[in-house]
A and B are shown apart, each in its own frame.
Chain A
Amino acid sequence: MSTTASPATGTGAAQGARRSRRRGTFYKGDPGMWSWVAHRITGVLTFFFLFAHVLDTALVRVSPNAYDEVIATYKTPLVNLIEVGLVGAVLYHALNGIRVMLVDFWAKGPKYQRPMLWVILGVWVLVMIPGTYYMLERTVTEMFGG
């Protein structure tokens, strides 16, 4: 247990629904809670990507030229960086999804939820290091003239 005071600032989005509910306490929570928060965030981000992706793909039905133009903008360094973020989000969401399914359907899942979280985070880092390298390689060489 930590001996220092937790920051008493952050206001949970959960607050405010009922009267006389206090504000201003930050609940530290189990790593499982933060894995759930990250699962939500990566899920929403992936949804937004799919939304944009459906729209840009649908452009080909409007006009192939417009489609080509939009896809060309995807080659910019910024979009490349966002792509890395997308891979990171999808990978986390997928790995944690497996963990959640094991928690749901494997009798020993709840017991090993924390080790499973450390394992998926380890796998995430191991995959993201070479993944980021290969995804950004072209952009970096083009920008800084490798």
Chain B
Amino acid sequence: MSTAVSDNDTSSGPQQAGPKPPPVPEGSRTVTLKIQRFNPEFDEEPRWESYDVPALSTDRLLNLLHYVKWYLDGTLAFRRSCAHGVCGSDAMQINGVNRLACKVLMKDMLAPQGKPTVITIAPIKGLPVQKDLYVDMEPFFEAFKAIKPYLITYGNEPSKERIQSPADRERFDDTTKCILCACCTTSCPVYWADGSYFGPAAIVNAHRFIFDSRDQGAEERLDILNDAEGVWRCRTTFNCTDACPRGIQVTKAIQEVKRALLFKRV
């Protein structure tokens, strides 16, 4: 699904010059990327490194990371795959908030003319860092799998399709947009403090099925989320809603699951 843009060389050279950089395009400005680096083979602690990169206002932040990777320091490791905000691979903490690097536009990041632009980039919080900007996503996917993110039905299969009215489809439309990038889950203070909390993404995906009129597994999923590590850990900090690159109203979805537990079942 996602590709780790990493290399296998084991040398820890601080700055390895790659191929000759392309000519700096006209109208570009120099942007400083301050990136948190961590190589488990050599570093005890993460360290910060700064790179000066030419940027056009039409660039995305991902272009700048590529520039670092391809021309300045080939040892930089980060994930990206589609580079168009669909695969959800390049979630990272950019200037203190979780964003997809491929959806952050430089025109929104450049400081006013004459002032230097410094962009801080760190891996998403709460998941173990494997190298530089990429983290072990396994705990995140475990929580996702635990809420049974697939259609559950009982009884005979219908001979044709499972019909659903537009209104019923609308009920869970927002939560179908999730791309599992982990921006929301790793923006959650509760998740940072306690990794056993299911986290917003898992609840969003549970919501997608709980409120699907075709699905019959709502009770099972609500039972799972009624757990001590379930929806009740949510403190409505709204960091997840702010972080979601798909604009999903994450906190609203979590609140709907809470209310389903409170009122629909006795």
Contacts and interface: CB of A to CB of B under 8 A. Distances in A.
Interface in B90-128: 93, 95-97, 104, 108-112, 117-120, 122-123, 125-126, 128
A8 B49 CA distance: 12
A25 B125 contact: yes
Contacts of A103: 236, 251, 255
Contact of A28 (B97, B108, B128, B236): B97
B249 A5 contact: no
A14 B238 CA distance: 17
Given A3-B111, A27-B93, A30-B242, A36 B255 contact: no
A103 B187 CA distance: 19
Given A100-B236, A105-B259, A30 B241 contact: yes
Contacts of B241: 30, 110
A25 B117 CA distance: 19
B95 A6 contact: yes
Given A8-B48, A18-B128, A20-B129, A25 B122 contact: yes
A33 interface: yes
Contact of A33 (B123, B193, B238): B238
Contact of B109 (A3, A20, A21, A25): A3
B34 A8 contact: yes
Contact of B239 (A3, A22, A32): A32
A28 B10 CA distance: 34
A30 B237 contact: yes
A77 interface: no
A139 B93 CA distance: 49
B255 A109 contact: yes
A18 B95 CA distance: 24
12 contacts: A17-B194, A20-B128, A21-B125, A24-B36, A24-B46, A27-B189, A27-B239, A28-B97, A32-B238, A104-B236, A105-B259, A113-B238
Identify which of A14, A26, A105 gathers the most chain B CB atoms within 10 Å of its CB.
A14
